[in-house]
Amino acid sequence: MSELSSLYVRLKMKKENLERFFQDKPITAEVDQDWASWWESLKSIAHYMEQAKKALR
């Protein structure tokens, strides 16, 4: 059974491209002020969602 937050994707790719994907290393993310403020906004959204769930109980 899938969850509401699940994501399923079907991709067509050659086997050698899949192997290359698994062997590659991820690039390092550059954390700037915009990214940090976006991350902080997620915390307030999570807090709001938790409060809404409690109100529905």
For residue range 17-40, what is the model confidence (pLDDT) as tens digits?
Answer: 999 999 999 888 777 888 778 878
Q: How many domains does the chain have?
A: 1
In a domain, 15, yes or no: no
- Residues in contact with 37: Cβ distance below 8 Å, sequence separation at least 6, in sequence order: none
48 domain-assigned: yes
52 is in which domain, residue-wise?
33-57
Does residue 2 carry a pLDDT above 70?
no
Q: Which helix or strand (DSSP H or E) is residue 19 part of?
A: helix 15-23
Task: Give the global pTM.
Answer: 0.36
- So what's the pLDDT on residue 17? 94
7 within some domain? no
Q: Chain-centre distance of CA 26, in angstroms?
A: 15
Q: What is the pLDDT of residues 38-51, one digit of tens each?
A: 878 877 787 778 88
- How confident is the prediction for the chain on average, in pLDDT? 84
